[in-house]
Amino acid sequence: MNAFLIILIVLLAAGAVFALVRGIVAFLKTTEEDLKSQGNGPSASGLRQNKMMFARIGFQAAAILVVVVLLLLNRH
């Protein structure tokens, strides 16, 4: 059971890193036109950045929950 939880933690951490990198790439692809557009709502780049931020937070939260479960299972 511990091995499964550790593998799950590693996968969730990798998912968080992946979402972080995709968010940074979306940020780097932001153009000056995206920044200057007013009144048209969020740009596609901004929406992508926001989506990746929430994905990263979700992966991190899930990883923390699995760590808590692992610690609770290994209490003596």
Quick one: pLDDT at residue 58?
97
Q: Does 64 fall in a domain? A: yes
Between CA 56 and CA 48 the distance in angstroms is: 12
Between CA 27 and CA 52 the distance in angstroms is: 10
Q: Does 37 fall in a domain? A: no
Q: Does 11 fall in a domain? A: yes
Quick one: pLDDT at residue 70?
96
Q: Does 50 fall in a domain? A: yes
* Number of structural domains in the chain: 1
Quick one: pLDDT at residue 39?
66
Range of the domain at 56: 2-31+42-73
Q: Does 8 fall in a domain? A: yes
pLDDT in tens, 1-49: 899 999 999 999 999 999 999 999 988 888 777 777 776 777 788 889 9
Assess contact for 17 and 32: CB atoms under 8 A.
no
Q: Does 16 fall in a domain? A: yes
pTM over 0.85: no
